[in-house]
Structure 1
């Protein structure tokens, strides 16, 4: 019996506005409207929701890299969609289905060109950021009579000094990669054109680690901000305790003793 196959895509059919590709434990998500500098639409938000759900459920995937096609990360909300009454958000999940609900696994933003408005806020929702040295960042909403309500006013003050958040949000100006890195918003600045490559290298280092440990580590870092100080270690123990009893923990210790690469099972 021959295996069923998917018919080839009609070459005249427009490609999806968000692409997803699996690469050895890494999911590469590409915002794919280069003709509009990857301005986000309602369609893109719904596609992102499905992709992120699949990412969370797939045990073979450890980390995702989010990037944009055509040399731009994301220029924010598509204003043509906005005036038609459509929003690039999913209820309870936020802009591009990401800004209000963190993914359970790490996501790395690979930024070339512009990450502005909702694009900048989407970057803030990622856990790590690799940026090209000529990338530009900003929250220009006030220049359009809008407000940065997808994370610019909530997430940014928790990620950067108050003065930085105020300047970015109130002026609406553009800032370079060196500025946002100095503010603690970017992990690595790399030559133009190499952000995705550098992000994939970073992702590979994460994907090589124990998957249970990686997920739990992210969970604690995300959740601890809301814990009372006198309960922090007890709450942490509730989450991390099972990891120390896992098969992966035993495998990690055994592999170290035997001087070999661990063989993770995720259990």
Structure 2
């Protein structure tokens, strides 16, 4: 996959780093950037050596939301079947971490909440201010946010459009980790901890946690089995046990 002007990628130790590259527009999401993120996720899925991805923004801002100039031209920053920014209605099997500096607002906050984990600089700001512009947070803000923080706080943020800082977001459990420096450094450290683990186990664990919220008590054990059965019968499971017994680092093959 070749990078576009709007989205740049690089690989570090099995981690795919995806950067929204529109700093002059505070990384506002346009159609080209959405397509670039979707293409990066396809690469994450298709290349076995890639274990985790990080989504971040250039120039000290994560994403300021939808490009309103593009919106006025009739452009929608979505990808068919995947939603806003290429990820709000679809998730890769492998983990995706948001590294947030500056502002994650409107669609930018919705991009962050679509990721599996969030690392943010202490100075970061979050919000879904769509109501201030006569719009609604339709890319997941109204659906996902009450599942990720207390529902009354989610209601307050949606109805007032007010921002919250990273410290409060962390206290609410919305953020996994805070950094004093660039969020990407904390995100890379978290990604390395994930990439050290068995890839099949990571994919299965993400899948169960992501999907099990809709499972009933009667069906949850059978449904979980569909995700984890191949993990326990894999060569990696044997390698993990053997490496533990031999007191060495496992050599994962993803099989």
TM-score for the superposition, normalised by structure 1: 0.93
SS at match of 2:174: coil
State the match for 1:114 in structure 2: 103
Aligned counterparts, 1:56-95, within 5 A? 56-95=45-84
2: distance between equivalents of 1:112 and 1:86? 26
1:36 and 2:29 are equivalent in the alignment: no
1:166 and 2:155 are equivalent in the alignment: yes
State the match for 2:248 in structure 1: 260
Report the Cα offset of residue 15 of structure 1: 6.3
State the match for 1:138 in structure 2: 127
Give the alignment partner of residue 234 of structure 2, picking from 229, 246, 256. Answer: 246
Report the Cα offset of residue 49 of structure 1: 1.3
- Give RMSD over aligned pairs: 1.3
2: distance between equivalents of 1:26 and 1:103? 14
Native 8 Å contact 1:63 1:206 kept in 2 = yes
1:199 and 2:190 are equivalent in the alignment: no
1: distance between equivalents of 2:208 and 2:179? 29
2: distance between equivalents of 1:233 and 1:32? 43
Deviations 1:2-54 (A, max 9, x none): xxxxxxx9xxxx96100111111100000000011000001111111111111
State the match for 1:230 in structure 2: 218
Native 8 Å contact 2:125 2:163 kept in 1 = yes
Deviations 1:60-101 (A, max 9, x none): 001001110000000000000000000111122111110001
Runs of 5+ in structure 1 lacking a partner? 1-8
1: distance between equivalents of 2:77 and 2:124? 23
Deviations 1:121-157 (A, max 9, x none): 0000001111100100000100000000001111111
Larger-Rg structure = 1
State the match for 2:42 in structure 1: 53
1: distance between equivalents of 2:223 and 2:30? 39
Deviations 1:190-248 (A, max 9, x none): 11x32100100000000010000000000011110111112111211222111101000
Q: Which runs of 4+ in 1 moved over 6 A?
A: none
Native 8 Å contact 1:164 1:183 kept in 2 = no
Give the alignment partner of residue 214 of structure 1, picking from 175, 178, 202. Answer: 202
Runs of 5+ in structure 2 lacking a partner? none
